[in-house]
Structure 1
């Protein structure tokens, strides 16, 4: 039986603080650690097992996966990390408190930035310390292709080549797969798999 489990990371410290996180690499809160353990318990109880795991290069997803695999006694299975599974890049909103951002720009504008399929938030400027273009985990990303902001459409475009090259072939071969990633990268996959409209 082919199995593909999609797992959003546990609560991060910035989720707890109601901040836009995007590509900022923040850790899990204590609640997030507990959520990872609860996910493992549920997966075990329902009889899931895995041969292969995929995750992003951001520690909140990586640690959630580690917690699940450790609690399931599957730390030994192969794991592939890819920046293409990262959260949507929130551009100049990264690090900002969501309520304060809504007060400054208006609820309607923030909702558009968060939920519209093809409207990204304002981009990061060159030289902004939040633009981690020189981080070694992104060495394979061409400088001109490095995102300064993304909408969900951009996240889909970033994610799909990795899906077709790495994940889909493993699914077709019968591997039992878990993907521990982020709300918007998983939304991008579900949109593609379920053929959800752009609206």
Structure 2
């Protein structure tokens, strides 16, 4: 029988999740689908009889908003929430704001998978010329955290995420868990993967194959030494969860057509006119970043009229 139980949750879908962009530390609210995911998660946890004593979130709105919605659906709005930057999503550096499918067209699907899923590979760092640099580093929430502005990351591997998360896990979360509290952690894809790696002892190689869908609660059952009694459990309709996992995995696959249709409303005439814009400079994307040589040759619409 489990000595300790906690629920880990990747936030509901955000606006940039829907657009297949690296969101990272850019503060995004939930999409309409993400709101529904969080609400459905709360309803499911309530039906299963979960009663939380404490909730931990990152300082990013999508994590906090998800926690609010879950607790509201459970009738547990009064449960205390503690937020820390140490539970933030992984800092994707210069990749922030870029579309994953477009990056796969330019750099290859394997490289994008390494950037997204590997344990110790760090993407190129963000620089002051990046369109989201000021938004991130002038944000007041990081002036209030337990680290100096100069020591905030400019890019992170999953290993880096685990290193900044572990002190918070050991000093804040574990004592509350050992005191007998039932805990919900509403975090992000990579901070959740880092925590699973630590708790379950997942190898550096195998963590590449751990994918977490948005808005799906994960149950961890631990013994008195905080060792897992078994693998983590996704709670919910297992067929739907596997489909959601595949959807996340497919985000890193090259797809000019699906990307363009997303931003052109499915209108093929608009799609063709926008193709040069997409393939050369991402002008059709707010905050688009830079030339992608080589994409043009992959585009099924280039040369059409």
| Coarse TM-score class (shorter-chain normalised) | over 0.9
Tell me what 1:180 maps to. 186
Structure 1, residues 76-117: CA drift from partner, whole Å, max 9, x if none?
111100000001111111111111111122222111111111
Per-residue deviation, 1:129? 4.4
Per-residue deviation, 1:118? 0.4
Among 153, 156, 160, which residue is 2:162 paired with? 156
Give the distance between the partners of 2:104 and 2:131, measured in 1 at CA. Answer: 23
Residue 165 of structure 1 aligns to a residue whose secondary structure is helix
State which drifts further: 118-127 or 162-171. 118-127
Q: Give the aligned CA root-mean-square deviation in angstroms.
A: 1.2
Among 182, 200, 203, which residue is 1:194 paired with? 200
Give the distance between the partners of 1:146 and 1:130, measured in 2 at CA. Answer: 15
Whether the 8 Å contact between 2:53 and 2:79 is mirrored in structure 1 is yes
Segments ≥4 residues shifted beyond 3 Å:
126-129
Per-residue deviation, 1:130? 2.1
Per-residue deviation, 1:128? 3.3
Per-residue deviation, 1:143? 2.6
Per-residue deviation, 1:144? 3.0
Give the distance between the partners of 1:144 and 1:196, measured in 2 at CA. Answer: 32
Counterparts of 1:37-48 in structure 2, within 5 Å, are 37-48=39-50
Structure 1, residues 135-154: CA drift from partner, whole Å, max 9, x if none?
11111322332111111001
* Structure 1 gap segments, 5+ residues each: none
Does 1:120 find its partner at 2:126?
no
Give the distance between the partners of 2:128 and 2:48, measured in 1 at CA. Answer: 48
Per-residue deviation, 1:175? 0.4
Tell me what 1:54 maps to. 56
Residue 44 of structure 1 aligns to a residue whose secondary structure is helix
Give the distance between the partners of 2:176 and 2:192, measured in 1 at CA. Answer: 17
Q: Which has the larger radius of gyration?
A: 2
Tell me what 2:153 maps to. 147
Tell me what 2:30 maps to. 28
Whether the 8 Å contact between 2:93 and 2:125 is mirrored in structure 1 is yes
Give the distance between the partners of 1:49 and 1:62, measured in 2 at CA. Answer: 18
Say how many residue pairs are matched.
199
Per-residue deviation, 1:122? 0.8
Residue 23 of structure 1 aligns to a residue whose secondary structure is coil
* Structure 2 gap segments, 5+ residues each: 206-305
